Structure 1
Amino acid sequence: MAPFLLWISSLFFFFGFASSHLIEVAASRKECFFEDLHVNDQMTVTYQVGGGGHLDIDFWVSSPDGNAIRKNIRYSTGTVSITAEKDGRYEYCFSNQMSAIADKIVSFNVHGVIYIGEGADEIVAPIEREIRALAHGLTSVKDEQEYIVVRERTHRNTAESTNARVKWWSIMQAVVLFSVVAWQVYYLKSFFEVKRVI
């Protein structure tokens, strides 16, 4: 029963450690964050670019030594998981240095899961296994929901932009049409004016 309570407490820790962020990465800049991890801790970062340029960004995770562990170049969405091989501060960065003009809006989630070791002498209860599978499934659902929210925001912005362009185009066409009609009425009226010479 004690391992079950330990697993439940780590599950609550998991829910407390998962977080979601929305940042704007300026053109020719990078934004970096860090997490302090211990050996065998797992960290997963999922991200989506919600606006700006070609909807792509560079992403990498660095070890405490400063070496890049994982790297995604010009991806619009991605999931990167690492398992800490040693204690220390792991840094993850979003880079918009390839763009000189467009700022990027990035939504990302960070999930940290402390795994309880499954050694040869440890027997994992079926309910613990199910709880772990449920926690993993819940993380996947949350990531998918975040992705859907970002895509909905992007599509809504596109639809509103298109709506505004159509509205202004229609107003411009109406102004041109009424101007042409007014000019034609004035021009035709001038044909029927009788000019008298006194």
Structure 2
Amino acid sequence: MKLRDGSEISLLVLLLCLTTVSLKTEALWIKLPSSGTKCVYEDIKTHVVVLGDYYSVVEQGYKAHRISAQVTSPYGNNLHHTENVTHDHFAFTTTESGKYLVCFWLSGNQQEGATPNVNLDWKTGIAAKDWDSVAKKQKIDGLELELMKVELLVGAIHQYLTNLKDKEAKVREVSEKTNAKVAWFSIMSLGLCISVSALQLWYLQSYFRKKKLI
């Protein structure tokens, strides 16, 4: 009985740890060039909540660099655009499936001796969910809230694996079509070579007969 209870508790602890690790987000540290843009992207499916918060990192003895930012969808739609700021955020729900691009660039001149850096905290899906509001709205807390996170996490993992399977099927289909085209091209090339060889042989035979060499 103790072993069984201990196993259940261990499994529950494992799931809670998995949830905590999976929901944890790490900010991106982006070094901006003195001219031009620096972009990062993430491949996101439709109907996913995306939250982003970014700010210009201040070095000791320097002022924060003024930056500009733009977020675009896979089809090039502008989702967020701001200029000459040191801190801002964006939020949207995806309507297109593909790569969502976030680009940064300096709004003014680079300060001599200072390195322009941007800290980007980008959250998607479960990590972007306001769990405090969910807990208050549904009047749940503690273990029940963590179990809800686990349930959503398992669903997200299942969806991710399904998407990978779909991508693999598409790649396999394209590969099979390409192999079929290559095979037909090889057969046509071989047939053309045989036809040209037969034509050359017929021409040589006709030529030698006219010259009475055979």
Please, what TM-score do these two structures have when normalized by structure 2?
A: 0.46
Give 1 or 2: higher helix fraction. Answer: 2
Structure with larger Rg: 2
Please, what TM-score do these two structures have when normalized by structure 1?
A: 0.49
Give 1 or 2: higher strand fraction. Answer: 1
